[in-house]
Amino acid sequence: MTDWLIPDWPAPAGIKACVTTRSGGVSVAPFDSFNLGDHVDDDPQAVAHNRSTLTARLNVQPAWLTQVHGIDVVEAAPSKVLQADASWSKAPGVACTIMTADCLPALFCNKAGTQVAAAHAGWRGLAAGVLEAAVDSFADSPSEILVWLGPAIGPQAFEVGPEVREAFVSSHPETADAFVPGANAGKYMADIYQLARLRLAAHGVTAVYGGGFSTYDDARFFSYRRGARTGRFASLVWIEAR
């Protein structure tokens, strides 16, 4: 766990979070080595070993999801794998868990430290409102929510077509600033972190931290655009068991 990433955000006491990296597991190339994705054609026994290692190191119960680039938010359930792209929990020791390899992982907690949530935001989910849906899983006002944006593809590597820009700008014109023309005709370079901050701000959330990563350029993390046959790392947030 020494090289795993601990979010730098002012979460209240008792709120814990962690992002795994590629190292510390048993998967072989191209999934080397701490792949946690069970849907990427890695050896199932290696994935199971890595997941078991994660659980033991953090002493939590990860609630895995089948992620489909949607906006459904479910209560985290370690005993079963639900289909959704965000989860929430008020139960100590239950970790809301998101797997990514370029998409944006977002971790949430309220200032009272009584609830956490995590969301998987590819551009489709982000445009459809998955971050807003995660915020709405809290009874608290959006101004009482803290958000940390984890490792995702950086703006120098995230080339998209005009349909992606239109999906954001049509409903939130201010997001036009998050797109700049790319080197290829008709393409744009998108800043997924800026898009997330703008969408959260429009929803009343101003306490947003993190960002500034690029999974494409940072070899600590899996990146689908760097190599389509690759693994997944996890971002987790939980209430510490007492």
Query: Does 197 fall in a domain?
Result: yes
Query: Does 63 fall in a domain?
Result: yes
Q: What is the CATH number of the domain that holds 58?
A: 3.60.140.10
Query: Does 156 fall in a domain?
Result: yes
Give the dihedral sign, CA 146/69/72/222.
Answer: negative
Confidence at residue 242, expressed as pLDDT on a 0 to 100 scale: 80
- Judge whether residue 55 has pLDDT over 90: yes
Measured between alpha carbons, how far is 12 from 94 in angstroms, rounded to an integer? 17
Taking only the tens place, the pLDDT of each residue in 61-84 is 999 999 999 999 999 999 999 999
Range of the domain at 185: 15-237
Taking only the tens place, the pLDDT of each residue in 93-133 is 999 999 999 999 999 999 999 999 999 999 999 999 999 99
DSSP line for 10-62: -PPTTEEEEE--S-SS-PPTTS-S----SSSS--HHHHHHHHHHHHHHHTSEE
Query: Does 4 fall in a domain?
Result: no
Residues in the chain: 242
Query: Does 10 fall in a domain?
Result: no
Taking only the tens place, the pLDDT of each residue in 158-189 is 999 999 999 999 999 999 999 999 999 999 99
In the structure encoding, which two tokens stand for residue 115, read together?
């609830």
Mean pLDDT of 24-29: 97
How many domains does the chain contain in total? 1
Query: Does 143 fall in a domain?
Result: yes
- Judge whether residue 1 has pLDDT over 60: no
Measured between alpha carbons, how far is 102 from 83 in angstroms, rounded to an integer? 20
Measured between alpha carbons, how far is 5 from 16 in angstroms, rounded to an integer? 12
Query: Does 242 fall in a domain?
Result: no
Query: Does 49 fall in a domain?
Result: yes
Closest-CA residue to 99 (of 129, 71, 65, 68): 65
Measured between alpha carbons, how far is 95 from 98 in angstroms, rounded to an integer? 10
- Judge whether residue 2 has pLDDT over 70: no
Confidence at residue 3, expressed as pLDDT on a 0 to 100 scale: 86
Residue 1's SS3 state is: coil
Strand order in the sheet with 159-160: 159-160, 188-190, 179-181
Phi, psi of 73 (to 5 degrees): -120, 130
89 near 239, Cβ under 8 Å? yes
